[in-house]
């Protein structure tokens, strides 16, 4: 058997299509990898038997019409999967088995993909290091003591370690791009409304978006194409024709105007990040793009805005976890109210509690105007900044994160320093626009760093193309010695 | 505006989350620091700004009035921690 | 002024107190499926059989709004002469309860779909306008059943997510009887529009009642209490009366009223504080991020307006003008759209004056007695029209008509057939009648002499004898003519 660990998603699709390899072979390969990768703790649930069965079914009745024929994939455990446990990384959903399939995963299976298992994540996607999961923290394959980022930490870790050929995550404030950056992989947060939210455990409804996490840009285009699409079951879904991102992928950058926002040059930013950014700018210049200095003046308010809006929505979204219809129920408490309090007190972890409490507080009577309403107004200002800039530029280039992967436990006692990790990713969610993070280099410790490309709404193709061109020039290499096996 | 232990208790009650007294101190501190952090927004003048509640450039798209769901009692009750054949069961509600 | 006779004050030794009432009526929208999901709204189904994953708030489930419910709300708004807001927002009202699966109710808070309007009440002294503050769409909750087990509450989510319209009045009502008229008027309007069936037994119409009192002549409102979820008009009247008296008692004892939510206990006949529950309530309204603002085009509203049926107030005016009805008669005949339809069908081919009397007196008595609504009347509008025509044409007398009507009620039969079969046709042949008259006069020659000598009262006696002899079928007008003629001689 050839070494599929070097193969990208697109290559695997081609191998299967050209009948050089069967779905069963590929599936068995990844199952072996997953079994050997337990140390990473990137999986919460595996479904090997079912996956092998499906692979065999595919091999017996080959159908190459889909974009992902017979390709096994693991997905973040925030997507509800029919008859497969879905936990959102929380004790409160420890035993929840949905009777339904999320629209996004349904799209993947319709394109021929096969579910390998469910990937660990921060509890209810609240976290930037995958340390808030009830199922334990996830290890970054880059280094034993490093976090993989979050909240799609299990997804990033499994992808970087080749426990899945590609994966999907969700991104509310950076949950795809930051772990992608931390693990040397590609992650894209689509335009709000491009991928259906139906069947995804909600964190903050006005910010949540599912997106692809892949080894390269080509895979990213392919997976985005497979997962996206209008869904009448989601009122915020954008009704438009499906784009052919893979077919239209090219490296034409010449003549494009790339904005460099001065506000992203933050105080105390590590030199390595700054030089990485410069490297990106140089590459684009060489490719014929025009570099333009721009200003997004309200950037510095984005994190504060986010940490009001997201917890507020979360406090309401998480009210349904009350021990009545599904999930964990505490057996303590004499009456309904006590049952609620104990169920939620025992069922939620500390970070979730913090955010639910903050969210409840900022919505409560007497504080709503000062916090929530204010934040919604600032959110408009932040969006206006972007709208204005995209009148004169095609895309914006920024670093993905202010640092490389940090150590496990390093920031758990200081919520604010943890939150600061999302400083470059959060504005994009607030504005509802797409952004992609691609690996662009390593710091002096050898830890990967990412660059982020941002475009106006529904311009995914443009940032994919720019990223595709940059990827070629950067020629990022990451060789892991598979220490976890 | 900051938050003290009593307010945290009140908010926890409103959120229906029981809190360990031992954790109250550190939790109050965390919440206070978060609120302190987000207070920088007050520096901005937003008198003339309309709040933004959705970033999607469209309005609500209604569906037609058709019965095409329900009749899935077993599915609905399946995951419940306490139920009988017909109902969800919860501890007595005290009015 | 006559109005004063109807004014309602609570009189004590010291003072006369005015009662100020505002209503929040919750009216279930008539629609096949729920406000945000495709499950059925039908009443009386087995527990939890009309529940979707959306209604039971499973993780990742999202609401999609029902077009027809929007139309129903707009139509109702138009029926209340209210402003339709072309831009409205759905908010989440957050609170925990066993029958509220999401932990929030989707409602409308700052931007409701319908704004200010007004309803006209027909008071005995004239008309009174009651202001409408707003109407908004919201979801109903499920049902908690407390009496099936001593330790547990059972939850049925069939109602969860059914569309409700909350119609908020201004504090313009001043007595229990005005509240009675107001609720009935709302119900009539919504039934005309087909937007709410108004069935209070099934909970399709219920209200939160806000009550405050103030001294007669005082301009400022007193502190109000809200009595939650009263589900019959009678209970509303009782609750207002009890609550107003409670407040007056407190105020006269020098105490103050605390603004609070109260519960009307129909068994103990008292209103009771729900403060324990209230304390924890802080609904934390915010725009539902799963839904976008609702924008409606004016042309859409205009289209609905064109299709509206004639509403009770207009119909009443028309009935009074066109058919010369008294306001009372018109009110009765427009109180339900089906009654008005029935009436208009009857008078297409029959005398109006007879028709209104037959409907209001005879038909309503029968419907009442049999507890039927007019749609299920055993006497069809066509048959009633035939009966009335038989009277008008002299085929039968009014008296015989009642006999025929009784048979129509029992059998549902056509009057012409009944008249024929039972031989009830009026005797209108002058020659035959003359024979009877001559015979009766001949048999009573002594009385004829008495009559002729001035005892004119005997005229009625002769008529009675003649009717008897014809077994009631003689045409009274002809009998009159012939009898007068004969007695002259």
Together in a domain, C481 and C417: no
Cβ atoms of A338 and B94 within 8 Å: the answer is no
Phi, psi of A281 (to 5 degrees): -60, -45
The residue from C304, C332, C357 where one domain ends is C304
Cβ atoms of C101 and C160 within 8 Å: the answer is yes
DSSP secondary-structure letter at A372?
Answer: I
pLDDT at B95: 58
Cβ atoms of C480 and C463 within 8 Å: the answer is yes
B80–A325 C-beta distance less than 8 A: yes
Q: Which residues of B touch A371 (CB under 8 A)?
A: 38
Best residue of A310, A324, A377, A429 to probe chain C, by most C CBs closer than 10 Å: A324
Asked if residue C37 belongs to a domain, the reply is: yes
Q: Distance between the two ends of chain B, CA-based, in angstroms? A: 34
Which residues lie closer than 8 Å to A391 by C-beta, 6 or more apart? none
Report CA-CA distances (Å) from B17 to A38, A352, C131. 33, 11, 42
B10 inside 8 A of chain C by CB = no
Together in a domain, C277 and C364: no
Together in a domain, C287 and C331: no
From the list A95, A325, A360, which residue is nearest B11 (CB)?
A: A360
pLDDT at C302: 98
What domains can you pick out in chain A, each with its CATH number? 7-485 (3.90.1300.10)
Mean per-residue pLDDT, C183-193: 97
pLDDT, tens digit, for every residue of C448-461?
989 988 888 889 89
Reported as a pLDDT band with limits 50, 70 and 90, residue C357 is very high
Together in a domain, C362 and C460: no
Q: Which pair of structure tokens corresponds to residue C173?
A: 């009502």
Q: Distance between the two ends of chain A, CA-based, in angstroms? A: 18
Q: Which pair of structure tokens corresponds to residue A419?
A: 């939150």
Cβ atoms of A208 and A314 within 8 Å: the answer is no
Asked if residue C343 belongs to a domain, the reply is: yes
Together in a domain, C434 and C372: no
| Predicted confidence (pLDDT) at residue A321 exceeds the cutoff of 80 | yes
| Predicted confidence (pLDDT) at residue A436 exceeds the cutoff of 70 | yes
pLDDT at C278: 46
Together in a domain, C456 and C386: no
Together in a domain, C417 and C434: no
Is the peptide bond preceding residue A151 cis, with omega within 30 degrees of 0? yes
Beta bridge partners of C455: none
**In the complex, which subunits touch A with 3 or more CB pairs below 8 angstroms?**
B, C
**Residue-by-residue DSSP string for A3-64:** -GGG--HHHHHHHHHTTSS-HHHHHHHHHHHHHHTGGG--EEEE-HHHHHHHHHHHHHT---
Q: Which pair of structure tokens corresponds to residue A343?
A: 């169920």
pLDDT, tens digit, for every residue of A367-425?
999 999 999 999 999 999 999 999 999 999 999 999 999 999 999 888 888 999 999 99
**Residue-by-residue DSSP string for A155-197:** HHHHHHTTSSSSEEEEESSSTTHHHHHHHT-EEEEPPTTSS--
Together in a domain, C393 and C287: no
d(CA C367, CA C373): 6
Mean per-residue pLDDT, C315-337: 94
A365 inside 8 A of chain B by CB = no
Mean per-residue pLDDT, C100-116: 98
Asked if residue C159 belongs to a domain, the reply is: yes
Asked if residue C326 belongs to a domain, the reply is: yes
Q: Which residues of B touch C55 (CB under 8 A)?
A: 70
pLDDT, tens digit, for every residue of A118-152?
999 999 999 999 999 999 999 999 999 999 999 99
d(CA A325, CA A63): 39
Report CA-CA distances (Å) from B33 to A203, A373, C279. 22, 20, 28
Q: Distance between the two ends of chain C, CA-based, in angstroms? A: 59
d(CA C43, CA C28): 11
pLDDT, tens digit, for every residue of A364-383?
999 999 999 999 999 999 99
Asked if residue C138 belongs to a domain, the reply is: yes
The pTM is what? Answer: 0.93
Alpha helices (runs of H) in B1-95, residue ranges in sequence order? 5-14, 21-38, 73-78
Together in a domain, C207 and C83: yes
Catalytic residue among A24, A151, A315, A400: A151
Q: Which residues of C touch A198 (CB under 8 A)?
A: 60-62
For chain A, percent of residues with pLDDT exceeding 70: 100
A368 inside 8 A of chain B by CB = no
pLDDT, tens digit, for every residue of A167-201?
999 999 999 999 999 999 999 999 999 999 999 99
Report CA-CA distances (Å) from C18 to C21, C316, C387, C402. 10, 31, 51, 49
Nearest to A171 by CA among A440, A378, A428, A462: A428
| Predicted confidence (pLDDT) at residue C277 exceeds the cutoff of 60 | no
Together in a domain, C408 and C339: yes
Phi, psi of A112 (to 5 degrees): 105, -5
The residue from C304, C339, C363 where one domain ends is C304
Gap from A261 CA to chain B (nearest CA, Å): 20
Q: Which residues of B touch A208 (CB under 8 A)?
A: none
d(CA A97, CA B43): 47
Nearest to B62 by CA among C88, A46, A34, C330: C88
Catalytic residue among A22, A102, A129, A175: A175
Catalytic residue list contains A365: no
**b/e per residue C214-237 (b: at least 16 CB within 10 A):** beeeeeeebebbbbbbbbbbebbb
Mean per-residue pLDDT, C58-85: 98
Lowest mean pLDDT among A110-114, A262-266, C280-284: C280-284
Nearest to A454 by CA among A432, A439, A475: A432
**In the complex, which subunits touch B with 3 or more CB pairs below 8 angstroms?**
A, C
Nearest to A478 by CA among A219, A271, A218, A215: A215
| Chain A residue whose CA is closest to B53 | A376
Gap from C112 CA to chain B (nearest CA, Å): 15
Beta bridge partners of C10: C17
d(CA A166, CA A158): 9
| Predicted confidence (pLDDT) at residue A1 exceeds the cutoff of 50 | no
pLDDT at C22: 98
Cβ atoms of A139 and A183 within 8 Å: the answer is no
From the list B14, B53, B63, which residue is nearest C280 (CB)?
A: B14
**Mean pLDDT, rounded, of chain A:** 96
**Residue-by-residue DSSP string for A287-340:** TTPEEEEE--TTGGGHHHHHHHHHHHHHHHHGGG-SSSSSS---S--SSHHHHH
Which residues lie closer than 8 Å to A123 by C-beta, 6 or more apart? A88, A89, A90, A132, A133, A134, A348, A349, A351, A352
Cβ atoms of A431 and A386 within 8 Å: the answer is yes
Asked if residue C8 belongs to a domain, the reply is: no
pLDDT, tens digit, for every residue of C110-132?
999 999 999 999 888 888 999 99
Phi, psi of C245 (to 5 degrees): -65, -40
Lowest mean pLDDT among A267-271, A460-464, B35-39: A267-271
Say how many residues make up chain C: 489
Q: How many CA atoms lie within 13 A of A422 on its CB side?
A: 29
The residue from C246, C280, C304 where one domain ends is C304
Helix (H) or strand (E) holding C10: strand C9-11
Q: Give the number of A-C residue pairs with CB atoms closer than 8 Å.
A: 97
From the list C50, C67, C146, which residue is nearest B65 (CB)?
A: C67
pLDDT at C279: 53
For chain A, percent of residues with pLDDT exceeding 90: 94
Gap from C71 CA to chain A (nearest CA, Å): 18
Asked if residue C6 belongs to a domain, the reply is: no
Nearest to A430 by CA among A454, A451, A411, A414: A454
pLDDT, tens digit, for every residue of B21-64?
898 999 999 999 999 999 999 999 999 999 997 899 888 999 99
DSSP secondary-structure letter at A425?
Answer: T
Q: What is the CATH number of the domain that holds C475?
A: 1.10.10.410
Mean per-residue pLDDT, C157-172: 98
| Predicted confidence (pLDDT) at residue C388 exceeds the cutoff of 50 | yes
Mean per-residue pLDDT, C30-38: 98
List the domain range (segments joined by +) for residue C477: 430-488
Together in a domain, C201 and C286: yes
**Residue-by-residue DSSP string for C316-363:** HHHHHHHH---HHHHHHHHSSHHHHHHHHHHTTSS-HHHHHHIIIIII
pLDDT, tens digit, for every residue of A57-74?
999 998 999 999 999 999
Torsion of CA C27, C31, C32, C34, to 10 degrees: -60
The three-state secondary structure class of C20 is strand
The three-state secondary structure class of A440 is strand
Q: Which pair of structure tokens corresponds to residue A238?
A: 């954008």
B90–A339 C-beta distance less than 8 A: yes
Asked if residue C4 belongs to a domain, the reply is: no
pLDDT at A2: 55
Together in a domain, C300 and C336: no
Q: How remote is the C-alpha of A75 from its chain's centroid?
A: 10
Number of domains in chain C: 3
Q: Which residues of B touch A426 (CB under 8 A)?
A: none
Which value does ipTM take for this structure?
A: 0.97
């Amino acid at each position: 058997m050839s070494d599929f660990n070097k193969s990208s998603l697109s290559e695997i699709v081609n191998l299967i299509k050209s009948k050089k390899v069967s779905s069963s072979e590929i599936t068995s390969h990844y199952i072996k990898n997953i079994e050997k990768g337990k140390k990473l703790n990137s999986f919460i649930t595996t479904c090997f038997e079912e996956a092998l069965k499906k692979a065999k079914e595919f091999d017996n009745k080959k159908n190459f019409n889909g974009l992902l024929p017979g390709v096994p994939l693991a997905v973040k455990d925030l997507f509800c999967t029919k008859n497969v446990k879905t936990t959102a990384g929380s004790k409160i959903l420890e035993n929840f088995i949905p009777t339904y399939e999320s629209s996004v995963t349904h799209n993947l299976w319709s394109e021929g993909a096969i579910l390998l298992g469910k990937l660990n994540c921060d509890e209810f996607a609240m976290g930037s290091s995958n340390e808030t999961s009830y199922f334990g923290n996830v290890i970054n394959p880059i280094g034993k003591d490093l976090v993989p980022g979050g909240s799609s930490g299990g997804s990033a870790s499994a992808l970087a370690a080749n426990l899945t050929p590609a994966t999907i995550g969700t991104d509310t404030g950076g949950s795809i791009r930051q772990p992608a950056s931390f693990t040397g992989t590609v992650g894209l947060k689509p335009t709000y409304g491009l991928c259906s939210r139906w069947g995804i455990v909600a964190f903050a409804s006005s910010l949540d978006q599912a997106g692809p996490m892949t080894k390269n840009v080509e895979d990213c285009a392919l997976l985005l194409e497979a997962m996206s699409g209008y869904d009448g079951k989601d009122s915020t879904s954008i009704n438009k024709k499906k784009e052919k991102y893979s077919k239209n992928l090219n490296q034409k950058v010449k003549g494009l105007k790339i904005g460099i926002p001065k506000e992203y040059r933050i105080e105390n930013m590590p030199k390595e990040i700054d030089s990485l950014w410069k490297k990106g700018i140089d590459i684009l210049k060489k490719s014929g793009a025009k570099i333009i200095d721009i200003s997004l003046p309200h950037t510095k308010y984005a994190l504060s805005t986010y940490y009001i809006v997201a917890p507020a929505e979360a406090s309401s979204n998480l009210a349904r976890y009350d021990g009545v219809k599904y999930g964990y129920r505490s057996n303590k408490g004499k009456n309904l109210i006590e049952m609620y309090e104990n169920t939620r007190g025992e069922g939620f972890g500390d970070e979730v509690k913090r955010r639910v409490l903050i969210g409840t507080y900022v919505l409560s009577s007497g504080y709503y105007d000062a916090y929530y309403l204010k934040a919604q107004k600032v959110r408009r200002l932040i969006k206006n900044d972007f709208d204005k800039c995209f009148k004169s530029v095609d895309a914006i280039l920024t670093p993905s994160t202010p640092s490389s992967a940090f150590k496990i436990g390093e920031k758990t006692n200081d919520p604010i320093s943890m939150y600061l990790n999302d400083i470059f990713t959060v504005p994009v969610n607030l504005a509802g626009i797409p952004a992609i993070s691609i690996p662009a280099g390593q710091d002096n410790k050898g830890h990967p760093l990412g660059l982020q490309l941002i475009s106006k709404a529904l311009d995914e193709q443009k940032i994919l193309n720019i990223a595709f061109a940059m990827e070629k020039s950067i020629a990022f290499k990451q060789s892991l010695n598979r220490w976890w096996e | 505006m900051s938050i003290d232990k009593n307010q945290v208790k009140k908010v926890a009650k409103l959120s229906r989350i029981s809190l360990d007294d031992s954790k109250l101190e550190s939790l109050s501190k965390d919440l206070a620091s978060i609120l302190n952090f987000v207070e920088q927004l007050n520096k901005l003048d937003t008198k003339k700004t309309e709040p933004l509640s959705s970033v999607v450039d469209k309005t609500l798209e209604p569906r037609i009035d058709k019965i095409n769901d329900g009749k899935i009692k077993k599915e609905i009750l399946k995951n419940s921690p306490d139920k009988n054949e017909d109902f969800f069961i919860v501890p007595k509600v005290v009015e | 002024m006559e109005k004063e006779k109807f004014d309602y004050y609570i009189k004590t030794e010291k003072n006369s107190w005015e009662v100020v009432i505002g209503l929040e009526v919750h009216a279930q929208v008539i629609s096949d499926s729920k406000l945000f999901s495709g499950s059925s709204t039908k009443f009386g189904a087995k527990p939890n059989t009309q529940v979707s994953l959306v209604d039971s708030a499973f993780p990742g489930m999202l609401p999609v709004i029902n077009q027809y419910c929007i139309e129903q709300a707009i139509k109702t708004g138009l029926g209340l002469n209210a402003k339709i807001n072309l831009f409205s927002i759905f908010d989440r009202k957050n609170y925990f309860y066993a029958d509220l699966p999401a932990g929030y109710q989707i409602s409308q808070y700052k931007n409701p779909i319908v704004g200010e309007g007004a309803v006209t009440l027909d008071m005995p002294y004239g008309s009174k306008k009651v202001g409408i503050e707003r109407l908004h769409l919201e979801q109903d909750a499920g049902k908690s059943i407390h009496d099936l087990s001593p330790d547990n509450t059972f939850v049925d989510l069939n109602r969860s997510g059914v569309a409700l319209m909350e119609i908020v009045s201004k504090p313009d009502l001043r007595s229990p009887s005005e509240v009675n008229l107001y609720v009935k008027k709302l119900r009539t309007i919504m039934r005309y529009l087909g937007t709410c069936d108004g069935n209070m037994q099934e909970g399709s119409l219920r209200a939160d009642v806000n009550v405050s009192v103030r001294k007669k002549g005082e301009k400022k409102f007193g502190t109000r209490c809200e009595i939650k979820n009263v589900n019959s008009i009678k209970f509303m009247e009782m609750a207002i009366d009890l609550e107003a008296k409670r407040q007056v008692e407190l105020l006269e004892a020098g105490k103050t009223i605390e603004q609070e939510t109260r519960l009307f206990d129909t068994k103990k006949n008292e209103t009771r504080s729900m403060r324990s529950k209230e304390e924890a309530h802080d609904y934390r309204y915010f725009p539902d991020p799963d839904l976008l603002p609702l924008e409606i085009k004016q042309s859409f509203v205009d289209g609905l307006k064109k299709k509206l049926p004639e509403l009770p107030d207009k119909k009443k005016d028309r009935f009074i003008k066109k058919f010369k009805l008294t306001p009372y008669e018109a009110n009765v005949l427009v109180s339900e759209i089906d009654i008005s339809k029935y009436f208009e069908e009857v008078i297409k081919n029959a005398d109006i004056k007879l028709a209104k009397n037959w409907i209001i007196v005879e038909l309503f008595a029968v419907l009442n007695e049999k507890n039927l609504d007019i749609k299920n009347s055993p006497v069809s509008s066509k048959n009633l029209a035939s009966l009335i025509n038989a009277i008008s044409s002299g085929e039968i007398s009014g008296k015989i008509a009642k006999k025929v009507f009784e048979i129509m009620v029992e059998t549902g039969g056509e009057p012409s057939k009944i008249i024929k079969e039972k031989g009830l046709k009026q005797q209108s042949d002058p020659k035959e009648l003359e024979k009877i008259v001559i015979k009766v006069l001949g048999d009573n020659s002594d009385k004829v002499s008495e009559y002729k000598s001035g005892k004119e009262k005997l005229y009625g006696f002769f008529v009675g004898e003649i009717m008897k002899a014809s077994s009631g079928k003689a045409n009274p007008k002809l009998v009159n003519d012939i009898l007068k003629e004969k007695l002259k001689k």
